[in-house]
Amino acid sequence: MPTQLIGFEIKTVSNLLMRNVDAKLSKFHNRDYTKMHGWIIGYIHDESKNHDVFQKDIEKEFKIRRSTATGILQLMEKNGYLNRLPVAHDARLKKLVLTQKAIDLNEEIHSNINEFERELSECLTKEEQEMFFKITAKLRKKLEGN
């Protein structure tokens, strides 16, 4: 058995990465939202630039059931992160619109994530970064094929 295992190293680096991200974002954890709320805010922020976003989009993107999405979105609305607004073409549909509170939070989190990415990339040369992405793309392709 080889002394260095690729899968083990990936798992170890992944654990360390998540631990560091959690530490950097810990100042946000005492607020009235969860990581899932953060992911949904980011998704709505990005997607709403191109089209209206509805609950069914959240269900599909995050592979969650309707009842789960309803509960999450109701809590986010209650906590002031989004509004559900009717659309003209179908009174039953409610598009999801972020509040300024959510937009500000999204920008603050992205700023912290970008800073962390900068810190990570500084320890690798450009050539090492290129090689890293080639290797991870190859591994991802292999794993997606399984």
pLDDT in tens, 90-116: 888 999 999 999 999 999 888 988 999
Count up the domains in the chain and report the number: 1
Residue 118 pLDDT class (50, 70, 90 cuts): very high
Give the CB-side neighbour count of residue 109, counting CA atoms within 13 A: 23
91 in a domain, yes or no?
yes
129 in a domain, yes or no?
yes
- Provide the residue range defining the domain that includes 94: 6-145
Burial class of residue 36 in the structure, from the number of CB atoms within 10 Å of its CB (0-12 exposed, 13-18 middle, 19+ buried): middle
The CATH number of whichever domain residue 91 belongs to comes to: 1.10.10.10
Give mean pLDDT, residues 12-31.
Answer: 82
pLDDT in tens, 124-142: 999 999 999 999 999 999 9
1 in a domain, yes or no?
no
111 in a domain, yes or no?
yes
131 in a domain, yes or no?
yes
